[in-house]
A and B are shown apart, each in its own frame.
Chain A
Amino acid sequence: MELFWPLLVARWLHLWSLLALFGAALFAVYAPPGGADALDKFKAWLAAIALASGVGFLTLMLVDMTEEVDSLFSPARWHALLLDTGFGRIWLLRLLALAALLLWVGGRRGRPDAWHVDAALSAALLVSLAWVGHAGAGQGADGFAGMFAYGCHVLAAGAWLGGLLPLSFALANARRGGDGKRLCAALERFSRLGMAAVALILASGILSAGLNMQGFADLGRTLYGRALLGKMALFAMLLALAAANRWIFLRQLRRQAGLGPIRALTKTVAAEHAIGLGLVALAAALSSLAPMD
């Protein structure tokens, strides 16, 4: 029984929801006042998706490993998976942390200042994925470098891509007559954060690729290399859109407080998010593929 595609979809949803959760938590740093309040319900949904996709991933993994659907009803098999393997114990801790996050985000009301708790928990959940993937399988200095690079990569990606949906909410708010100056300030802060994130994504991505691949020839030769090429192409598209946002539409918004630049920004941010979804799908595929195959 081969469950490559269902496992990949579960990985995709899990990674995307955690990236979005982390980015949404950081959004409070640069959001217009009050902008973060409306995000609480959104963050609760993201935490629920992350938990459901995590449970789904583990369930699929058990069936995939044992090649028997009946394993789902075997306490001994679940015990072996969750308590006798290194990755199972990490997944168990991650699911407990996700349940705590869901209760925390879903249960609180009127605590917009609690963004740092959401950010810290979602950051820990993102970084802990390093222990259950390629990076975690590395030994010695390479293993440490791989996990460090992975951690930097997902946190930077979360800060940037995860901020896009809340940014769409802020743009929608501005279209409905919200304060244009506050939106400008939020966009400028997001743009600065985005530039730092891009630099970190590039540096950590190059380090990870160097650790996982044997040379540039692998880019065209292996499936992993081809997926990485696709990811780089999508990343280039994202950069082009982000540059257009910063140096064309944001400048227009500063010059004229009208709906035109806001509408244009709404479209480019939506396009960035669509490309970001594809990029996260490729990141999930890279986690599922063997670098050498």
Chain B
Amino acid sequence: MIRHCGRAGVLLALVVLSCAGLVEAHTHLKTSSPAAGATLANAPTEIRLQFHEAIEASVSHVSVETKAGQAVAAGAPASDPSDKTALVLRLAEPLKPGAYKVNWRVISADTHKVKGSFTFQVRP
């Protein structure tokens, strides 16, 4: 009985763990500026990502690329000093008209990695 109980315990742990899958998201992207799917009349000078939890900027990554996959020049992402849940990427120069994709990978304060991407357009 005891042996069965032990085996059942280990089996249950394995079954539940196997249900876990490759989950990594803890915080979530709440809003962004530009917003996902937005079409802008004025070219943005920065990308601002707002999350639910505090983000560690020094180990996070944000990049912008053109529709052709060419990287847009920008600095390193930095925290907003007044809001640790926001990450800001300053662009080297205003974007030219066209479609852009923002790729982000952030580490929340509880050490978990979250990543995603979204697109927006700048009108001619």
Contacts and interface: CB of A to CB of B under 8 A. Distances in A.
A230 B54 contact: no
28 contacts: A4-B23, A4-B24, A65-B107, A65-B113, A80-B59, A85-B107, A87-B110, A132-B110, A133-B111, A134-B110, A136-B110, A137-B27, A137-B108, A137-B109, A230-B12, A230-B15, A237-B5, A271-B9, A275-B5, A275-B6, A275-B10, A278-B14, A281-B13, A282-B17, A289-B20, A290-B23, A290-B26, A293-B23
Given A136-B110, A223-B23, A293-B23, A65 B59 contact: yes
Nearest to A268: B2
Interface of B: 2-3, 5-6, 8-10, 12-17, 19-27, 53-54, 56, 58-59, 61, 105, 107-113
Contacts of B17: 8, 227, 281-282, 285
Which secondary structure dominates chain B's binding surface? mixed
Contacts of B24: 2, 4, 290
Contacts of B59: 65-66, 80-81, 84-85, 88
Interface in A264-293: 267-268, 270-271, 274-275, 277-279, 281-282, 285, 288-290, 293
A226 B23 CA distance: 13
Contacts, number: 118
A230 B111 contact: no
Q: Which of A229, A230, A241, A293 has the most CB of B within 10 A?
A: A230
8 A-B pairs closest in CB distance: A278-B13, A230-B16, A84-B58, A275-B9, A137-B110, A271-B6, A274-B6, A85-B56
Interface residues of A, number: 46
Contacts of A270: 6
